[in-house]
Amino acid sequence: MGYTVLLVDDSETIRGALLKAFQMAKLPMEEVFQASDGREALAKLKSVWVDMVLTDINMPNMGGVELLAAMKADPSLKDIPVAVISTEGSSTRIQSLQEAGIAGYLRKPCRPEEIRDLLHKVLGDWK
How would you write 72-87 as a 3-class SS string? HHCCCCCCCCEEEEEC
pLDDT in tens, 32-78: 999 999 999 999 999 999 999 999 999 999 999 999 999 999 999 99
Higher local confidence (pLDDT), 51 or 20: 51
**Has residue 15 got a pLDDT over 50?**
yes
Higher local confidence (pLDDT), 113 or 75: 75
**Has residue 127 got a pLDDT over 70?**
no
Proportion of the chain above pLDDT 90, given as a percent: 62
**Has residue 104 got a pLDDT over 90?**
yes
Which domains are seen in the chain, by residue range? 3-123 (3.40.50.2300)
Q: Are 8 and 37 in contact (CB under 8 A)?
A: yes
Mean pLDDT for the chain overall:
90
The rounded distance, in Å, linking the Cα atoms of 111 and 2 is 21
Higher local confidence (pLDDT), 101 or 3: 101
Q: Are 10 and 56 in contact (CB under 8 A)?
A: yes
pLDDT of residue 125: 54
